[in-house]
Amino acid sequence: MTIKGSCFCGSVTYKIEGKIRDTLSCHCSMCRKVFSAQASAYALVEPDEFSWVSGSDLLTCYESKSGAGLQFCRQCGSTLCGLYKGKIHGVTLGCIEGDPKITLGMHIFVGSKASWETIPDDVPQYEEWPPDNNPGGIKIS
């Protein structure tokens, strides 16, 4: 299965030759700021299944002290993927084109969600990381 994605202006495109997994929505204060929304929508990918098709020269990166980071288009500002210790870790679901035939598997960091947000009850919710399941081993700090 090939999954394609692009930024808002269409200058940066990618493809995934495989599946995305561990779909989640994070409601922490950092994700709210990064995505200018109530939460992020994200899925993990195998780094060797991900490749840039066009516009990689337009990418810029923000990386935290813990090694977690994001790559985004410097023309339109779309956040396209996440990095961990310099490697592609996952993709933002909002930039995927078409229907990747997925559903969100969990909502994380609901303990710090925005007070005005209502989360649907039909998907598991966790105050922080799920017990014994930090998707991808990301450290937030």
| Confidence at residue 136, expressed as pLDDT on a 0 to 100 scale | 52
Q: Are 124 and 133 in contact (CB under 8 A)?
A: no
d(CA 96, CA 134): 23
| Confidence at residue 67, expressed as pLDDT on a 0 to 100 scale | 79
51-69 per-position pLDDT tens digit? 999 999 999 999 888 778 8
19-45 per-position pLDDT tens digit? 999 999 999 888 888 888 888 899 999
Domains of the chain: 2-129 (2.170.150.70)
Name beta bridge partners: 60.
Answer: 72
Helices and strands in the chain, H and E counts: 1, 10
